[in-house]
Amino acid sequence: MSVPAMADESNSQQIARGRYLAITAGCNDCHTDGYMPTAGQVPEASWFTGSAIGFQGPWGTSYPSNLRLLVHNLNEEQWLERTRQPMRPPMPWFNLQTMTEQDLLSLYQYLRSLGPAGEMAPAAVAPGGEVNTPYFDFTPRNLPVTADK
């Protein structure tokens, strides 16, 4: 097998691994419009284009990023740095910190393989700001009262 053929095979395996990780980590649940309500029946060509449906809580209102546009503008080193930073709720960014560097790079290669598509997600809105999009309300309600120790 030639060196380019081995590189292509290695890259194909990395992309397949990234796809597997994206699916099993539930990335589509938020980052792909319509994924959860259709039990995943969204064409892969539409995956990871973000959403204009927000998540509102004490942090304000945040939106799932268009990961395809994000990775299109980042190199591998920038991607790794970005995945190690805290992100707005409800993104479980701390789960990314448990992934190996190789897993994060596989995810990056998979997302890049999809190519850029869609539009940027709306900007986050600070607490109390006006929200002009649909959103899920994550405001805690009826929490038990705890005694100070």
For the chain, 149 residues long, give each residue's pLDDT as a single digit of tens: 544 444 477 799 999 999 999 999 999 999 999 999 999 999 999 999 999 999 999 999 999 999 999 999 999 999 999 999 999 999 999 999 999 999 999 999 999 999 999 999 999 999 999 999 999 999 989 988 886 65
pLDDT value for 5: 47
Instruction: Give the closest residue to 63 by CA, choosing from 74, 52, 73.
Output: 52
- Burial of 71 (C-beta count, 10 Å sphere; 0-12/13-18/19+): buried
Partnered with residue 135 across adjacent β-strands are: 54
pLDDT value for 149: 56
Dist CA 16 CA 113 (whole Å): 10
Q: Give, in degrees to the nearest 5, the angle at Cα 92 between 91 and 94.
A: 135
Both structure tokens of 91: 């993104």
The domain limits of the chain are: 3-137
